[in-house]
Amino acid sequence: MQYFRKIVHSRLFVIWGITLVTIIICLAVTLVLISHAKRIRIVDAPPKLPTTANPTDIVPAPQQINIFLLNPTSLEIAPVKAELSLYPEPTKRLKQIVSALIQEAPPDYRNPIPRGTLLNEVYVDSQKTAYLDFSHHLADGHIGGTTAELLTVTAILKTVFDAFPNEIKHVQILIDGREKETLAGHLNLSQPLRF
């Protein structure tokens, strides 16, 4: 009897132990995945393939792109690698990439896009001008100052031109569907811009 109890006890012990270890491993894996996902910044999850598959909606494997953020030490707008499952269709791809720029920056960088900014819509015209329509936060939430305005615009333009070197020649920033002459009162945004 004693012997039997001992066996049961030790068995219970082993089972509990295994369960605990499993839980810990699961937690660790989840944490790693979450932090990894943050770093990768997958913006739009790849769409589920519809039964009548539209060939332009088929999403290839994740691709590496550059988004441009402020390095607070060098004070340069510098490229940061991000991985996105990009749509092949350029307008959708543009929207994905600019949306990736708006996300929270990695710890070593500062995002020059005001928090809360949303990308409403994008459009590229026949003259290769990209119209990026942001929510009012881009202007209303801006910290002001000529430098900060330049950093914001530079980050947007560099990110777009890096991803579309041939397809986009100019960028026009819009706020809630309209041209706005400036974000914070200094830089003139009334026309499409390039470097």
Map the footprint of another protein across residues 89-128, applying CB under 8 A.
110-112
Contacts of residue 42, defined as CB under 8 A and 6 or more positions apart, other chains included, come to: 62, 83, 84, 85
Q: Does 153 bind another protein (CB under 8 A)?
A: yes
Kind and range of the H or E run holding 106: none
- Please name every residue paired with 65 in a beta bridge, in sequence order, or none if there are none: 82
Rounded to the nearest whole angstrom, what is the least distance from the CB of residue 56 to another protein in the complex?
Answer: 29
- The 13-52 site mask, x for binding another protein (CB under 8 A), equals ----------------------------------------
Candidate segments 22-30, 52-60, 67-75, 85-93, binder of another protein by CB under 8 A: 67-75
Structure tokens at 191: 């026309």
Question: Which of these, 151, 171, 157, 163, lies nearest to 109 by C-alpha position?
Answer: 151
Residue type, position 128, single letter: K
Its sign, for the CA torsion 132, 138, 142, 144, is positive
Among 40, 42, 78, 150, binds another protein (CB under 8 A): 150
Span from 6-14, 36-44, 130-138, 181-189 in contact with another protein (CB under 8 A): 181-189
The contact set with another protein (CB under 8 A) reads: 70, 72-73, 75, 110-112, 129, 143-148, 150-151, 153, 157, 170, 181-182, 184-195
